[in-house]
Amino acid sequence: MSDDQFPGWHGTTIMGVKKGGEVVIAGDGQVSLGQTVIKGTARKVRRLSPGGYDVVAGFAGSTADAFTLLERLEAKLEATPGQLARASVELAKDWRTDKYLQKLEAMLIVSDGADIFVITGAGDVLEPEHDVTAIGSGGNYALAAGRALMDTDLTAEEVARKAMAIAGDICVYTNGNLTVESIKK
């Protein structure tokens, strides 16, 4: 089957919400191949503890590529303990300049409880303007819903869960089987 005939993997919505001294990263569990759901309970949000400092990370894109990037991020964090921004920039620089890493197809949302960043293969390390960010096939739906819910009395986790439910109702590549990790600084 040629590349242009391959139906492609779809099915991830990851979002991060920073509110009330807490950051929550939530991800759905769906993985689809073309129009077929392959798995509904994938775990795309992880807690890392390099150098004794907790970091929560969520990924969208190729799983193997994402794990490669998570391993690289852990190594950067071990070299710069407690400095997520610096480790994220170093990872993005490597990702942009290394010929092997350039081919990786994934995005990350990472947080240490104080900061939240989106790391992309284009060399970007983005900090969301409104303390809400989202990636993946349902990312825009989750982002819009999350931003609308930020001015309510809901906690960070409640915002994330409601926004992910809305994204799941709209995006056929997003389901309601959530993995939610929270972190405080």
| Type of residue at 15 | M
Three-state DSSP at 85 gives helix
List, as one string, the DSSP characters of 90-129.
HHHHHHHH-TTGGG--EEEEEE-SS-EEEE-TTS-EE--T
What Rg do the C-alpha atoms of the chain give, in angstroms?
Answer: 16
Cα–Cα separations (whole angstroms), residue 177 to 14, 40, 163, 173, 184: 12, 7, 13, 12, 23
80 is an annotated ligand-binding site residue: no
Residue 80 annotated to the active site:
no
168 is an annotated ligand-binding site residue: yes
171 is an annotated ligand-binding site residue: yes
> One of 12, 13, 36, 120 is an active-site residue; which one?
12
Any idea which residues carry the catalytic annotation?
Answer: 12
| Residues making up the binding site for Na(+) | 168, 171, 174
